[in-house]
Structure 1
């Protein structure tokens, strides 16, 4: 990794190259700009120096947001820690800084890793440098290569195991349901995670693999036909929800009536009391009482 900083200097912004550029959330970046404009730069950027044909050039190690904020504020020079490091050290240090950000986008970090793969690094080398497992690096790269940004985001969110994401990626609709069932049986998906995974599969089937379609594609799909289709799909979902609600209500009515009849059986009531099961939720007791009153 990069050696300890040697000195702090004011260096020209236009002499700095960002070796590992990444996209930034506009709202977060605006906050950085406003903060620097109000109170100044609290921490210098970090660069490494190399000799150019017309003077020293600099490669950015960390501090892309601060550098771009200075540029947007119209500054020509920026305070920088100048360290001794080669190109590989700069790249790895940049990845480490990205991983250390508190509000980072998981897919953005993984794109950095895919970038290392394109530069010729083997999965085992990437795993060693980033602290991830070789299997994880390989699996994430396969998902991204197939455009499965939704699945990658779910894996990074922690509710979808990477092995299940791979099975979903490589399966048809029937195979996806089988993969979810297998994950449930294997206790990989339970409770809220299973619900979130099923919802993800439905959204992925309806809206595609990516989590952020380009604006151009969004505009193309906002046609009258697309709006009608979306309305029909939403209506069908609500119709199914109503059917499920009615079925659930009918089951509850049946249960209440059955318990009401059992409550009229003195022998059954005595048996419950002997077993210490004579109490029940107040709302259920009220419903059963009303059923007993209404019953002829």
Structure 2
């Protein structure tokens, strides 16, 4: 049973424990800190009371980013809604809160649904708590449980949306092209992402789901010949880069010497003065070894 208070109270930050920590995007976190510093805290965090050996403490239920922002700003206390809830209820509330975030990461969504499933919740209960459809929840669980590592990596890297990955996992190979066309028509996959999705589908059909230990090509890629070929390709790339750097250096030396020769021509210097171009940028004068930025 969970009891939620309706009035926020100030809680010492050092008495709050983060029981379900998450990694935050640094840029988004800094923006949150700036917003709180300028406008204040718009929504209190949520904590649950705990009676520990050292006295009263609190477990964080929702609001890790806000809590860390207050710590970053050097605050000792933070407004919080204090509830009475079991560890189990707090974990579920935290997972559901993460699912409800507007800008959550796709892989966090997948893992949090799996986390609820591991806690013993049925598909229907997960759908109800997360406000997702039953079909979607079951599809995501299938994506995780069937070992769709290739699709999961594509979702994590942002190449395809979660919904499209689930549809691909549920479809027969002959129906995948229909799914890609529908994703294009629904503006879910366009341009480079559509091409990347097609390559992903071809790789999945040809080499499998990408499960560790089942991809024979992955094992063969560790052969001596493959390693030597990779090393040789890397060497060739560095040689090309070195040739380009050498050519650029030679061109720069030629331009420098040509400009130095021109500046030693009195007629050319007189023309520059007449056009109001009697000075040079410092970087250029340093390279030409001129004493000042003024053309003599």
TM over 0.5, shorter chain: yes
TM-fit CA distance, 1:31: 0.7
Partner of 2:14: 14
TM-fit CA distance, 1:35: 2.1
TM-score (norm 1): 0.56
Q: Indicate which of 171, 177, 180 corresponds to 2:176.
A: 180
Partner of 2:168: 164
Could you say if the C-alpha distance between residues 155 and 166 of structure 1 is closer, same or farther in structure 2, counting changes exceeding 3 Å? farther
1:202 matches 2:195: no
Partner of 1:76: 76
TM-fit CA distance, 1:82: 1.1
In structure 2, what is the Cα distance between the partners aligned to 1:229 and 1:90?
Answer: 56
In structure 1, what is the Cα distance between the partners aligned to 2:195 and 2:48?
Answer: 48
Could you say if the C-alpha distance between residues 13 and 229 of structure 1 is closer, same or farther in structure 2, counting changes exceeding 3 Å? farther
RMSD: 3.8
In structure 2, what is the Cα distance between the partners aligned to 1:188 and 1:60?
Answer: 42
Kindly report which structure 2 residues correspond to 1:35-46, keeping only aligned pairs within 5 A, or say none.
35-46=35-46
Q: SS in structure 2 opposite 1:82? A: strand
Could you say if the C-alpha distance between residues 38 and 181 of structure 1 is closer, same or farther in structure 2, counting changes exceeding 3 Å? closer
1:5 matches 2:5: yes
Kindly report which structure 2 residues correspond to 1:93-132, keeping only aligned pairs within 5 A, or say none.
93-132=93-132
Aligned residues: 207
Kindly report which structure 2 residues correspond to 1:213-292, keeping only aligned pairs within 5 A, or say none.
none
Whether the 8 Å CA contact 1:98–1:104 is kept in 2: the answer is yes
TM-fit CA distance, 1:224: 5.4
TM-fit CA distance, 1:66: 0.4
Could you say if the C-alpha distance between residues 193 and 78 of structure 1 is closer, same or farther in structure 2, counting changes exceeding 3 Å? closer
- Specify every segment of 5 or more residues in structure 1 that has no aligned partner in the other structure, as ranges: 169-174, 211-222, 231-296
Could you say if the C-alpha distance between residues 126 and 198 of structure 1 is closer, same or farther in structure 2, counting changes exceeding 3 Å? same
TM-fit CA distance, 1:151: 4.5
In structure 2, what is the Cα distance between the partners aligned to 1:190 and 1:80?
Answer: 45
In structure 2, what is the Cα distance between the partners aligned to 1:8 and 1:62?
Answer: 14
Whether the 8 Å CA contact 1:143–1:151 is kept in 2: the answer is no
- Specify every segment of 5 or more residues in structure 2 that has no aligned partner in the other structure, as ranges: 212-229, 238-296
Whether the 8 Å CA contact 1:155–1:165 is kept in 2: the answer is no
Partner of 1:66: 66
TM-fit CA distance, 1:225: 5.2
TM-score (norm 2): 0.56
